[in-house]
């Protein structure tokens, strides 16, 4: 199984940005964690982060015909981007939404998730472990 892991704006600032909310581990730590659990689970992975909405849309489109699923943390674009929602719908790959923080317990503007409308599952508030939970969920779908 091949999975694309996508992270949106400011996720490259993990470890620096609001550590009380997002923790002290860095984006490099997150990448290393993803690579290590993917190896353990026998998943081939591609990992991409961008601060630009269009670059995320391009990466979703490029996954079509190439990847078996998408794990996406669209970060702030979660709450604003119809373009990312449409891209996920366009490629039709099973996608799982991940948030490091417990978005449901945060500000009202974070209560809408456009990307989530095209996702089969959401894991929020589990820190980095949410990415592994998402990968395991996609793996379980494939084995069904």
Positions marked active-site: 22, 99
**Quick count: other Cβ atoms within 10 Å of Cβ 136?**
15
* Least distance between ligand DQA and beta carbon 12 (Å): 11
Interface residue list for ligand DQA (CB under 6 A): 10, 73, 75-76, 78, 99-101, 103, 110
Of 10 and 26, CB closest to ligand DQA: 10
Q: Check if the beta carbon of residue 96 is closer than 8 Å to that of residue 119.
A: yes
* Least distance between ligand DQA and beta carbon 106 (Å): 7
- Token output for 136: 């395991």
* Least distance between ligand DQA and beta carbon 143 (Å): 27
Q: How far apart are the first and last CA of the chain?
A: 13
Of 75 and 88, CB closest to ligand DQA: 75
**Given phi > 0 = left and psi -120 to 50 = alpha, else beta, which region is 94?**
beta
- 4, 35, 43, 122, 123 from 30: Cα distances, Å: 14, 9, 16, 18, 16
- Token output for 83: 């373009």
Of 1 and 133, CB closest to ligand DQA: 133
Of 1 and 76, CB closest to ligand DQA: 76
């Amino acid at each position: 199984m091949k999975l694309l892991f996508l992270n949106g704006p400011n996720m490259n600032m993990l470890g620096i940005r609001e550590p009380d909310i997002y923790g002290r581990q860095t984006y490099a730590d997150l990448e290393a964690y993803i690579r290590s659990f993917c190896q353990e689970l026998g998943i081939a992975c591609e990992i991409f982060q961008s601060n630009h909405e269009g670059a995320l849309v391009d990466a979703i489109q490029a996954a079509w015909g190439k990847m078996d699923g998408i794990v996406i943390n669209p970060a702030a674009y979660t709450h604003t981007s119809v373009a990312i929602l449409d891209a996920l719908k366009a490629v039709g790959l099973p996608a799982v939404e991940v948030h490091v923080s417990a978005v449901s317990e945060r500000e009202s503007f974070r209560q809408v998730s456009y990307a989530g409308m095209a996702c089969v599952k959401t894991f929020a508030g589990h820190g980095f472990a949410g990415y592994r939970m998402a990968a395991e969920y996609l793996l379980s779908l494939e084995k069904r």
